[in-house]
């Protein structure tokens, strides 16, 4: 028996939006990394000073030392999804913290993500201060 098609002409298929295409591409990359037995990390966001972590996604990276870089590299996408799921986070955009843990070990505590590159910029700032102190009048 055939399924009824309804009345009138068939509506054309809607084209996927730019965001949908981007999310589908990211999903395929994630699934490919999963197939290669790459460790998965769950990503969380919380308001600074609060204890409640909000799950916002998952990232697969080849080395655990790359988690922080991956989180802050995809920060805009994570925030977009977080604001869609948890509108309360939008009010505290300036005071959000990121955390992560291995997906396989849900009983482990969530580790706070640290923005990479902080040490390099502070070292450059120290060199700049030393040079400027050489040229200051006494």
pLDDT, tens digit, for every residue of 18-48? 877 877 887 787 777 677 777 888 999 999 9
Token pair 């060199």 is found at 127
pLDDT attached to residue 11: 80
Cβ pair 99, 53 in contact under 8 A: yes
User: Tell me: the pLDDT tens digits for 83-96?
Assistant: 999 998 898 888 89
**Residue 123 pLDDT more than 80?**
no
Say whether pLDDT at 7 is over 90. Answer: no
Indicate whether 54 pLDDT > 60: yes
DSSP alpha helix (H) spans, 1-138: 18-35, 67-73, 75-85, 118-134
Closest CA to 112 of 57, 48, 24, 62: 48
| Mean pLDDT rounded to a whole number for the chain | 81
pLDDT at 121: 55
Count Cβ neighbours within 10 Å for each residue of 111-136 and write b for 16 or more, e otherwise.
bebeebeeeeeeeeeeeeeeeeeeee
40 forms beta bridges with 60
Mean pLDDT of 116-129: 66
Residue 127 has which token pair?
């060199």
Residue (of 44, 54, 52, 50) closest to 87 by Cα position: 54
DSSP code per residue over 71-111: HHHTHHHHHHHHHHH-GGGGGGGGGEEEEEEETT-TTSPPE
Whether residue 120 is predicted with pLDDT greater than 70 in this model: the reply is: no
pLDDT at position 118, please? 54
């Amino acid at each position: 028996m055939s399924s009824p098609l309804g009345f009138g002409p068939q509506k054309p298929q809607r084209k996927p939006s730019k965001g949908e295409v981007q999310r589908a591409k990211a999903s395929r990359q994630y699934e490919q990394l999963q197939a290669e037995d790459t460790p998965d990390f769950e990503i969380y966001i919380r308001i600074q000073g609060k204890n409640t972590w909000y799950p916002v996604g998952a990232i697969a990276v080849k080395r655990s030392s790359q988690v922080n870089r991956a989180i802050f590299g995809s920060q805009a996408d994570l925030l977009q999804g977080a604001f869609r799921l948890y509108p309360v986070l939008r009010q505290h955009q300036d005071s959000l913290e990121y955390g992560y843990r291995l997906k396989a070990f849900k009983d482990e505590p969530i580790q706070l993500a640290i923005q990479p590159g902080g040490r390099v910029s502070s070292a450059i700032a120290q060199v700049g201060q030393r040079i400027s102190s050489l040229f200051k009048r006494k």
